[in-house]
Homo-oligomer: A and B are copies of this chain.
């Protein structure tokens, strides 16, 4: 029930935080976007290199990959830089971002170019992986345009993809959790979808409880609606 919860910032359960997409935030990258979602801020840059990794050579297809990192003081207490082993959480997140963003692009149309999306979290208040996807898609759009201009072929970018989190907190379904909500959630869910509403990735986890198929359906449906709003912002940012 909506009345039972007061969210920190007075949002309704199904409302997104204020979101801004600052396209072209980097002087050098072929595409870039600084995304803010509430107090979460992620700088997404897309870097283009000719050629593809060895295992993909000779097929005439491109590749899109992602890296994710947090600045040491993006959070309430300082984290050590991941300068040896990249941690499991980071690996899990950057694999999710990479898979999601590959769904934006027609690899055959891209040809043998590699686009790397770096998602560096400047400030974290929940939802950094979904913000990385949403902002990264804008950077990727511009990098595809850059390749298109270089090669004279049409852009290989096909669909915007965006992502949002949701969860069950105190039994209530909330969208776009901030950090204080995230740590209290019984179930948390990340949904990635295309502009056409097609789902790309759904990850639901119940660390402190289980959930029913019906709850999953409702969460996915609410998230999919929100993603349509994000897609509109992405299009608007791209001008």
Interface residues of A (CB under 8 A from B): 26-29, 32, 39, 43, 45, 47, 49, 67, 69, 71-78, 81-89, 91-92, 94-95, 99, 102-103, 116, 118, 120, 122-123, 125, 193-194, 196-207, 209-213, 216-217, 220-221, 224
Which secondary structure dominates where chain A touches chain B? Answer: mixed
Contact of B76 with A67 in the complex, beta carbons under 8 Å: no
Residues of B within 8 A of A213 (CB): 199, 217, 220-221, 224
Q: How far is the CA of A102 from the CA of B122 in the complex (A)?
A: 26
Interface contacts beyond A87-B91, A198-B212: sample of 9 additional A-B pairs, CB < 8 Å, sorted by A: A45-B72, A72-B116, A72-B120, A85-B85, A199-B211, A199-B212, A201-B204, A202-B216, A203-B204
Residues of B within 8 A of A26 (CB): 73, 123
- How many identical subunits does the complex contain? 6
Known: A88-B95, A198-B210, A211-B199. A120 touches B71 (CB 8 A): yes
Contact of B67 with A45 in the complex, beta carbons under 8 Å: no
Contact of B199 with A216 in the complex, beta carbons under 8 Å: yes
What is the chain B residue whose CB lies nearest that of A189? B202
Residues of B within 8 A of A211 (CB): 198-199
Residues of B within 8 A of A92 (CB): 88, 91-92, 95
Shortest C-beta distance, A225 to chain B (Å), equals: 11
Known: A199-B211, A213-B221. A69 touches B81 (CB 8 A): yes
Cβ-closest 4 pairs across A and B: A198-B210, A47-B78, A88-B91, A45-B73
